[in-house]
Amino acid sequence: MRYSGFRVIKEALTGHRGWGPAWRDAAPKPHYDYVIIGGGGHGLATAYYLAKEFRQSSIAVIEKGWIGGGNVGRNTTIIRSNYLLDGNEPFYEFSLQLWEGLEQELNYNAMVSQRGILNLIHSDGQRDAFIRRGNAMILNGADAELLTTEQIVARYPFLNVNNARFPIKGGLAQHRGGTVRHDAVAWGYARGADQHGVDIIQNCEVTGFQIKDGVCTGVETTRGFIGAKKVASCVAGSSSRVMGMAGMRLPIESHVLQAFVSEGLKPLLPGVITFGAGHFYCSQSDKGGLVFGGDIDGYNSYAQRGNLPVVEDVCEGGMAIFPNLGRARLLRMWGGVMDMSMDGSPIIDRTHIDGLYFNGGWCYGGFKATPASGFAYAHLLATDTPHKTATAYRLDRFAKGGMIDEKGVGNQPNLH
Amino acid sequence: MIINHPILGPRDAAEFVYKGDASLINRPDPQSDNAAERFYEYGYLRDNPAGLHRELWFHEQGDRSWLVVTRDTTTHEITKVELARDVARAEGRSR
């Protein structure tokens, strides 16, 4: 069924009896060409592009809970492509371009809102670094603009530009950045994949891999064995647990990242802003809540909840630039489990086991990458060669010295 | 989280800096034949378990001791705290 304004009117006049489920609740078949583990944004996007762009059939996405119930349902919904390094920037720019066409592509309202993202500058050294980053973005076909404090005040009059410790000296803006309705991304890709014949199998947890002579031929699940020519893990947050069942140790630690939403407020914050001296980022949702977050808690965790010191740190960062935030009450907070990789960048690659592929290590940048991650992973699965924007995301780059370390902090996952 | 420091008693985890898996105590021998591969594994690969995890915490805002904390990564419950020095000595790392 195609969604349209006409359809909404027709259904409104006929009692909304014509809407069907957006995707089938499939039961597992004994064998598929491709089994994608993980029904989150990346897994569903992979299945969609594999079926649509690479014209593969016999694809299943298996998910231990319900689709979209993991990190695609618990992030701060920001999209942007303001990276510095050559290994990253073309990939994230490709992702932003896919976001721009996503709703027409999927015939699904994902509420893509290019309201702009602004990284605030607080020192001369930071201005130099942001000019460099802006130039790197422009060289890779993205947009970037250096704003003066006056230009920022005109758009964000409530910002505390004269904070004694962290005055706002300007900002790097990416006007094409913004926010997307996160759940709708998972649902839109699920519906699109389903329309191209992909089986979406929920409540189906992987319990093991069938590997013989270095070849993966399927997965054991709570709903029985499923054979596959190619098995693709796409379970960021739980990557070490899943790949551990195949005997692999990964360059990844799992960490908890918290996010927060205030009570609903009238329109206040037109775009996304980030604090440059600490770690704080904030946007306003369409329901009016201020959605914000900061650093990860900093210790290994699978608990999906964090502790109070980080709550304090995030709120202090917010108050430093955005003092009226202190008048808003916190409505909700939650934690998600991140694959924190050793260089802060993701992995999309084959493994040493034939037929077993790995996508993970998204740190806390996975949401914005969803379309490109799916496209690049589908490219790898269909052709056994990396997509041209994802050639640096190799699993063996840590052994070979090809790290993509945006912050330059080394192999300490909690600092990325 | 409260870390029950063996010398100082219960301390807020915010006083500490987290380093990672306590296996980092066992630095490979740089003279061994396969030193490059072992240092790659030491530097970059982690078990990352869901459940009990032995890990290094540094009491930066306190007595600057290194601790080995045994903590459940699914509940954050801390079940054991040792001085890293004692752990390293027990493993023959130091005299």
Residue in B closest to A339 by C-alpha? B48
Residue B44 maps to a domain: yes
Same domain? A245 vs A271: no
Same domain? A336 vs A347: no
pLDDT recorded at residue A1:
84
* Mean pLDDT over each residue of chain A, to the nearest integer: 96
For the segment B56-78, what is each residue's pLDDT rounded down to a tens digit? 999 999 999 999 999 999 999 99
pLDDT recorded at residue B95:
61
Domain count, chain B: 1
* Residue matched to tokens 């891999």: A209
Return the percentage of chain A with pLDDT > 70, whole number: 100
For the segment B25-52, what is each residue's pLDDT rounded down to a tens digit? 999 999 999 999 999 999 999 999 999 9
Residue A295 maps to a domain: yes
Return the percentage of chain A with pLDDT > 90, whole number: 99
Domain count, chain A: 2
Residue B30 maps to a domain: yes
Write out chain A residues lying below 8 Å of B21, CB-based. 253, 300
Q: CB-based burial of residue A150 (10 Å sphere; 0-12 exposed, 13-18 middle, 19+ buried)?
A: exposed
Same domain? A144 vs A276: yes
Instruction: List the one residue out of A270, A300, A71, A48 whose CA is nearest residue B1.
Output: A300
Inspect the interface and report whether the beta carbons of A252 and B43 lie closer than 8 Å: no
* Residue that finishes a domain, picked among A341, A375, A393: A341
Same domain? A165 vs A128: yes
DSSP label of A113: B
Residue A118 maps to a domain: yes
Q: What is the CATH number of the domain that holds A398?
A: 3.50.50.60
Residue A72 maps to a domain: yes
Tell which of B46, B47, B72, B77 to mutate to test the A interface (max A CBs under 10 Å): B46
Same domain? A257 vs A330: yes
Residue A362 maps to a domain: yes
Residue in B closest to A303 by C-alpha? B74
Spatial separation of the C-alpha atoms in residues A390 and A130, rounded to whole Å: 24
The pTM of this model reads 0.96
* Residue that finishes a domain, picked among A341, A374, A396: A341
**A398: containing domain:** 25-77+182-251+343-415
pLDDT recorded at residue A184:
97
Is B60 in CB contact (< 8 Å) with chain A? no
Inspect the interface and report whether the beta carbons of A414 and B18 lie closer than 8 Å: yes
pLDDT of residue A131 exceeding 80: yes
Indicate the residue of A251, A301, A309 with minimum beta-carbon distance to B44. A251
Same domain? A363 vs A303: no
Residue A376 maps to a domain: yes
For the segment A11-53, what is each residue's pLDDT rounded down to a tens digit? 999 999 999 999 999 999 999 999 999 999 999 999 999 999 9
Inspect the interface and report whether the beta carbons of B18 and A299 lie closer than 8 Å: yes
**B73: containing domain:** 2-90
> CB under 8 Å to A337, separation ≥6 — which residues?
A71, A237, A238, A254, A255, A256, A301, A302, A303, A304
Q: What is the CATH number of the domain that holds B47?
A: 3.30.2270.10
Residue A312 maps to a domain: yes
Same domain? A149 vs A262: yes
The alpha carbon of residue A392 is apart from the nearest alpha carbon of chain B, in Å, by: 17
Residue B95 maps to a domain: no
Write out chain A residues lying below 8 Å of B76, CB-based. 301, 303, 307
Inspect the interface and report whether the beta carbons of A253 and B73 lie closer than 8 Å: no
Mean pLDDT of A384-389: 97
* Residue that finishes a domain, picked among A326, A341, A356: A341
Reported ipTM: the value is 0.96
Same domain? A124 vs A41: no
Output the CA angle B28-B33-B37, nearest 5 degrees.
60
Instruction: List the one residue out of A55, A52, A60, A50 whose CA is nearest residue A379.
Output: A50
Residue A89 maps to a domain: no
Residue A94 maps to a domain: no
The alpha carbon of residue B40 is apart from the nearest alpha carbon of chain A, in Å, by: 6
Indicate the residue of A254, A399, A412 with minimum beta-carbon distance to B48. A254
For the segment A339-366, what is each residue's pLDDT rounded down to a tens digit? 999 999 999 999 999 999 999 999 989 9
Q: What is the CATH number of the domain that holds A167?
A: 3.30.9.10
Helix (H, G, I), strand (E, B) or coil at A48: helix
Residue in B closest to A398 by C-alpha? B44
